[in-house]
A = this chain, B = another copy of it.
Amino acid sequence: AWKGAPKFSDDKGWSFKPRGRIQVDIGGTDAPSGLSKGANASLGTATEVRRAWLGFEGTMPGGIGYRFDADLTNSSLALADAYISYKANRNLTLVLGNQRPFTGLEDMTAVLNTTFMERSSFSQAFGFERRVGIAANYKTKDVLVEAGLFADDMSSMSADTDKSWSLNGRVVFMPRLGNGTLHLGASAQYHDLAGSVTSTRYRTRPFLHTADVRLVDTGTITATSERRYGVEAAYMTGPFHAVVEGNAITAVRPGLSNPTFKGGYAEVGYVLTGEKAPYKGGIFDRLRPAKGIDEGGIGAIQVNLRFDHLDLNDSDIVGGRQDTAGVSLVWAATSNLRFTANYGHLWLRDAAITADGDDSYTADSMGMRAQIDF
């Protein structure tokens, strides 16, 4: 069978599929001149290979599975998913290895399928990443429960002095409601920064990834642990979807204030060509055109509107606030070839300072992506 690449399988439970993805981005960001920290040098138009991944996934008899993705972006190696899984029964799966620790609806949605080129500001700012650990996923038609115990991300944990660990969980209810599906979820994380260096940092890029700059940034702050809570709600009916997520993270700093930073977004989207909003099992799924360009059709076209908010000011920490109004156009030419164009208008406060001493201003970002995957 072809799923982008050939998927080989037999009736005993063996299967194997190569995996890969290439994302090529072009983006431009406009902001006031004279920004502090040399930020302007990172602005303007830039091209980027955003992701170049190769990998394998497969299953073995007895409910055993694995996935292994190598991220080769910018000729710098990282491992993405790299895990062994065991399907204990129809509902319960155990996963051991490098994986996403249940961080919420958008973050658990594959980056191939997000409605904007980049995920929400809080997803970047609050340090969402893959970590090595062991997790259990319990799933029925209407309920998803995920919990796991994790060490650090793979490159950090290779240092012996890094003893940090986290406990993560997420619960989702996804009943049918009217003609659509309701999604209600919550997630939590306790993250112990038990290393010899106990610090953290919250910051985010302005809308796109092409500009390697952060206008809002708490800087490095001492902390011994983090607590994070998230809520998520969505409704999908026919080609329409609406989604809202919110997150709050608290840096625990013995002897100092414990600031809490907050972020969230609200989004509505509509598939103009009539395909159903792609949602499946607690995450958004691949937008598959009813008739792709390979069949003489025009593919699927989805338009999305989003308001994104991030507040890195609390207590005595002034990291800045970034609000973004964004619009995106997704064109799935086929199920495996996809183009995204999006524009964001940003309002920044307490941000990187301009030459005039101004720390509140607006910025604009426009980006496009071409993506193939298999």
A155-185 interface with B by 8 A CB criterion: 155, 157-158, 160-161, 163
Q: A10-B2, A64-B294 are in contact. Are A84 and B337 (CB under 8 A)?
A: yes
Q: Is there a chain B Cβ closer than 8 Å to A355's Cβ? A: no
- CA separation between A45 and B70, bound complex, in Å? 27
The reply to whether B64 and A337 contact each other, CB–CB distance below 8 Å, is yes
**Selected contact of A75 from candidates B16, B60, B74, B78, CB within 8 Å:** B78
Instruction: Quote the shortest CB–CB distance from A40 to chain B (angstroms).
Output: 10
11 more A-B residue pairs beyond the given contacts A20-B56, A49-B132, A62-B294, with a C-beta to C-beta distance below 8 A: A2-B14, A6-B14, A6-B16, A16-B18, A22-B68, A49-B97, A52-B79, A60-B336, A64-B372, A75-B154, A76-B158
- CA separation between A334 and B84, bound complex, in Å? 13
**Selected contact of A155 from candidates B5, B68, B75, CB within 8 Å:** B75
The reply to whether B64 and A72 contact each other, CB–CB distance below 8 Å, is no
Instruction: Quote the shortest CB–CB distance from A167 to chain B (angstroms).
Output: 14
Q: Is there a chain B Cβ closer than 8 Å to A196's Cβ? A: yes
A289-342 interface with B by 8 A CB criterion: 292-295, 333-334, 336-337
Q: Is there a chain B Cβ closer than 8 Å to A211's Cβ? A: yes
Q: Is there a chain B Cβ closer than 8 Å to A238's Cβ? A: no
Size of chain A's interface in residues, with CB distance under 8 A?
73
**Selected contact of A41 from candidates B161, B293, B337, CB within 8 Å:** B161
The reply to whether A160 and B212 contact each other, CB–CB distance below 8 Å, is yes
Could you jot down 29 A-B contacts, CB within 8 Å?
A6-B14, A16-B374, A20-B68, A24-B84, A24-B97, A41-B160, A41-B161, A42-B161, A44-B163, A48-B132, A49-B82, A52-B82, A54-B54, A58-B374, A61-B295, A62-B334, A63-B294, A64-B334, A64-B336, A66-B372, A70-B70, A70-B72, A74-B158, A75-B155, A76-B77, A76-B155, A84-B370, A84-B372, A160-B213
